[in-house]
């Protein structure tokens, strides 16, 4: 129990988080400002999820980072396109559940095999399921692919401009990284828990008639990223506690009827804060991530703040409970680490 308490309150080292935070903030803020200026804020959900490409590969440099981020740009864009396609169906809520579970399985396999950082299919699940929840038409699918793809490409450019600049200044500098992500033989062990967790959480939230069931699916994935039950419990508790505190801040920010430009700026600022904290303490990061997610949803599809806050809180608890239950049941199937 003392070890659990220690893990819950430990704050890790800074470890150069400001570089990732600035890149992430720029990658989110610039596309949203462009859409705001073009009076296309309804497309902001596609741009934001594409911009999450910038969150990957912080531990890699040069060609290794370009390769990983380029792959994630494609994965995220496809997930957004699939989600938008699902959103064209009147039965989108139920179709989204098995489709998202399948993508969670594929994302888990790719994450383990390619050694993603941050690990797991969380952003693929979030992007697909969130876009699937928005009523769409077939004409929205190419728009989603184009906006998400452009935003993701911009994120790859921003994420590697430093390496390009250093290479231009020093032509003799190495152009490659020694980092070679090995195929992880145990990659298959994450596939089943992640897909089952998403399937169960999505089924419970959708069947209960709660709005925004994708938050339950995302929350189910969160603890399952960890490989042992102890760390899964810590991540689950971090998710619940951090979300609870974040909902208080979200209530303050969503209370006044802010103009779209103010919301865009807040999203960019909160993205920076989240990346400054996520590697140090997940619960602290969620204090910023939670209002960020709600503001992003509100910007694309304005909704009652009280409804957003209630749905987020209830579905977080459902998702974490399902994720921990699945982690407990499947724990014996994980290879010793």
pLDDT at 179: 46
> Residue 278 phi/psi, 5° resolution?
-65, -35
Helix %, strand %, coil % for the chain, to 5? 75, 0, 25
Tell me which residue of 123, 74, 132 sits closest to 99, measured CA to CA. Answer: 132
Tell me the C-alpha distance between 307 and 128, whole Å.
21
Check residue 336 and give its pLDDT. 45
The yes-or-no verdict on residue 14 having pLDDT over 70 is no
How far apart are alpha carbons 100 and 90 in whole angstroms? 17
Q: What is the pLDDT of residue 222?
A: 92
CA proximity to 32, closest of 304, 292, 261: 261
State yes or no: pLDDT of 63 exceeds 50: yes
pLDDT of residue 65 exceeding 50, the answer is: yes
Is 4 a residue whose pLDDT tops 90?
Answer: no
What percent of the chain shows pLDDT beyond 70?
86
**Whether 136 contacts 68, CB under 8 Å:** no
24 or 149: which carries more pLDDT confidence?
149
Distance, CA of 242 to CA of 54 (rounded, Å)? 23
Model pTM score: 0.88
* pLDDT tens digit sequence for 183-196: 444 445 668 899 99
Q: Give the per-residue pLDDT at 333.
A: 54
Residue 3 has what pLDDT?
59
d(CA 246, CA 299): 18
In order, the DSSP letters of 246-275 are HHHHHHHHHSS---HHHHHHHHHHHHHHHH
Question: pLDDT per residue over 304-322, tens digit each?
Answer: 889 889 999 999 999 999 9
pLDDT at 62: 77
Kindly indicate the confidence band of residue 2, based on its pLDDT and cuts at 50, 70 and 90. Answer: low
Most confident of 112-116, 117-121, 152-156: 152-156
Summarize the confidence of residues 124-149 as an average pLDDT: 95
Average pLDDT over residues 150-171: 75
Average pLDDT rounded to a whole number, residues 271-280:
89
Q: pLDDT digit string (tens) for 177-225?
A: 544 454 444 445 668 899 999 999 999 999 998 888 999 999 999 999 8
Contact call for residues 33 and 27 (beta carbons, < 8 A): no
Residue 260 class from Cβ within 10 Å (0-12 exposed, 13-18 middle, 19+ buried)?
A: middle
**Would you state the pLDDT for residue 100?**
97
CA-closest candidate to residue 147, choices 87, 80, 82, 70: 80
């Amino acid at each position: 129990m003392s070890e659990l308490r220690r893990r819950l309150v430990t704050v890790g080292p800074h470890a150069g988080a400001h570089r990732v935070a600035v890149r992430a903030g720029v990658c989110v803020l610039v596309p949203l400002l462009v859409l705001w200026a073009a009076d296309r804020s309804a497309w902001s959900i596609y741009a934001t999820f594409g911009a999450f490409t910038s969150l990957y590969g912080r531990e890699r440099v040069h060609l290794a980072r370009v390769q990983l981020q380029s792959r994630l740009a494609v994965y995220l864009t496809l997930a957004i396109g699939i989600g938008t396609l699902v959103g064209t169906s009147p039965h989108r809520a139920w179709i989204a559940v098995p489709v998202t579970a399948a993508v969670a399985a594929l994302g888990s396999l790719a994450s383990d095999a390619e050694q993603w950082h941050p690990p797991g299919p969380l952003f693929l699940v979030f992007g697909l399921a969130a876009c699937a929840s928005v009523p769409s038409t077939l004409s929205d699918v190419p728009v989603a692919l184009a906006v998400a793809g452009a935003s993701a490409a911009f994120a790859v450019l921003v994420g590697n401009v430093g390496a390009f600049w250093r290479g231009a200044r020093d032509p003799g500098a190495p152009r490659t990284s020694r980092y070679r992500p090995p195929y992880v033989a145990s990659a298959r062990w994450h596939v089943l828990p992640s897909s089952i967790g998403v399937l169960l959480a999505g089924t419970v939230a959708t069947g209960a008639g709660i709005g925004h069931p994708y938050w339950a699916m995302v929350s189910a994935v969160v603890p399952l990223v960890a490989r042992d039950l102890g760390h899964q419990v810590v991540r689950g508790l971090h998710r619940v506690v951090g979300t609870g505190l974040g909902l208080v801040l979200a209530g303050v920010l969503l209370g006044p009827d802010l103009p779209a430009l103010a919301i865009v700026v807040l999203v960019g600022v909160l993205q920076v804060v989240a990346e400054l904290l996520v590697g140090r303490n997940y619960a602290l990061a969620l204090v910023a991530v939670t209002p960020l997610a709600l503001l992003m949803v509100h910007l694309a599809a304005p909704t009652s703040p009280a409804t957003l806050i209630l749905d987020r809180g209830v579905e977080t608890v459902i998702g974490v409970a399902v994720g921990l239950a699945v982690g407990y049941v499947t724990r014996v199937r994980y290879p010793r680490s």
